[in-house]
Amino acid sequence: MAKALALRLRRLDAIREAGGRLFERPQLGRDMFGRGDPEPIAEIKRPQWSATLYDLISAYATERQRHALRRVRFAKRKVWSLVEAREALQRLVGATPDWSRLDEYLIAFVVEPSMLPSVLASSLAASLELVREGALEIQQSGAFAPIYLRKREGAEPVDGQSSS
């Protein structure tokens, strides 16, 4: 125990001596002083570049385009899903036994003109799916001609589920 106490006392002496040496060192602002005010940076009054009117206009246009594209926000489009198209075609085609135009079926569902491409695409895909399942027949006389649909003769009503 005496050895441990002696060791701690020697450490305390060493710390006091180190602290005394630190306080004896010269200090900035008391024993020594810094250099005077910093020297100013020389300003060049003549510009080192030149630009034409074309350069200025093209730079302005580039900046406007870069910032204009950041603010563009597209409205979310409402689309007609394949499920909706399939349900509508099953109801409408089941009600008429004769050939009917696909776009005549869809007139009732197109509320907004912006939805027309979505309605046409979804309905065509749904009608092809119904043809594959054997519930519908499709006929078209030529390229870009109207598409005609009818319920397949002898076909059972399709309840929306594939029969594999």
Query: pLDDT for 46-73, tens place per residue?
Result: 777 788 999 999 999 998 888 776 776 7
Alpha helices in 96-155 (DSSP H): 102-106, 116-133
What mean pLDDT do residues 138-159 have? 80
- The per-residue b/e assignment along 134-148, b for 16 or more CB within 10 angstroms, e otherwise, is ebbbbeeeeeeeeeb
For 157, phi and psi rounded to 5 degrees? -65, 135
Phi-psi label, residue 77: left if phi above 0, alpha if psi -120 to 50, beta otherwise: beta
What mean pLDDT do residues 125-131 have? 91
Query: What structural domains and CATH numbers belong to the chain?
Result: 82-151 (1.10.10.580)
Do residues 125 and 85 make contact, with C-beta atoms less than 8 angstroms apart?
Answer: yes
Evaluate the CA torsion angle 155, 156, 157, 161 in order and state its sign: negative
What mean pLDDT do residues 139-162 have? 76
Report the DSSP beta bridge partners of residue 100: 149
Report the DSSP beta bridge partners of residue 101: 148
Q: What's 70's DSSP letter? A: G
- Report the SS3 class of residue 11: helix
- Report the SS3 class of residue 158: coil
pTM over 0.75: no
